[in-house]
Structure 1
Amino acid sequence: MIKKICLFLLCLYPFHVAADPSLECSDAGSQVEIGACVSEAAQRVEAAMGIAQEIAMASAQELDEVTGRAVAVPAMNTAQEAWAAYRDAQCNAVGASFGGGSGTGIAIQSCKIELGRARITELMSMAQ
């Protein structure tokens, strides 16, 4: 069942190889349009991450049930909270490096997309 869900997730979530999500939106035109494109991409990554979290958590619950220990689920929760705190701090640092310039929001969203994509990969590897 989990493998079917994983395949479904891969269909919903396009894995891009571009170095910077804002480059994926570079044909959008103006900075406002690029910002909107990056924002939409960030929403898609958040949705995919939610699905990946559900899959990884189901796997952790199954492991806890099989082993009779309540270890994997709390560890998953702790890891996700720590990851979210890291993502926010890191992306705020990236944004700060723009000195308040007009590209700050795009840079922050791009950072969140990149880190979110990496987290999805990590979560999916836990579900195997």
Structure 2
Amino acid sequence: MKITPAHFLLGLALFWPAGAHADDALNCDEPQTTADMNQCADIAFDKADKELNALWPKLKEWAAQSDQESGENDGYYAKTLLASQRAWLAYRDAECVAAGLPMHGGTGEGPLMGGCRASLTEERVKDLRGLLPE
């Protein structure tokens, strides 16, 4: 997945409602400086990461229950879920370093990487929610 500067700004727009900030406050709808872009990317990532962390106990419970119901004595569901998450974290981190390559060494590298982390984490939350019964 290639994250371009346009994708980064679009991703930020998806995470922040319009008009939610005071005139002198940080405006993530239209960040004006690299520092603002970095801060907005960090805020978006923190939000997605909190959602992921809130979802994790539910996933662990689902995996444990699935192991019990299936008769898997070795914790197959729980082990598989944990291995998947660890692999995904490594993927996300490497992918987002690569997303910053078009601006490597420049001030735009951080916002590209941060926007990537936020976007991929939000996608992961959606994917993991799909594992849980409705």
The alignment's TM-score, normalised by the length of structure 1, stands at: 0.78
- Confirm whether residue 93 of structure 1 aligns to residue 98 of structure 2: yes
Q: Which one-letter code corresponds to 2:49 in the other structure?
A: E
Deviates more, 1:59-68 or 1:104-113: 59-68
CA contact (8 A) 1:22 1:106 kept: no
- DSSP-derived class of the 1:88 partner: helix
Q: Structure 2 residue aligned with 1:51, among 54, 58, 65?
A: 54
CA contact (8 A) 1:55 1:124 kept: no
Q: CA deviation at 1:102?
A: 0.4
Contiguous gaps of at least 5 residues in structure 2 = 1-7, 15-27
- Confirm whether residue 104 of structure 1 aligns to residue 94 of structure 2: no
| Bigger Rg over Cα | 2
Percent identity, please.
23
Aligned length: 111
CA contact (8 A) 1:87 1:112 kept: yes
The alignment's TM-score, normalised by the length of structure 2, stands at: 0.75
Contiguous gaps of at least 5 residues in structure 1 = 1-17
Higher helix share: 1
Q: CA deviation at 1:23?
A: 4.2
Q: Structure 2 residue aligned with 1:20, among 4, 10, 20?
A: 10
CA contact (8 A) 2:12 2:44 kept: no
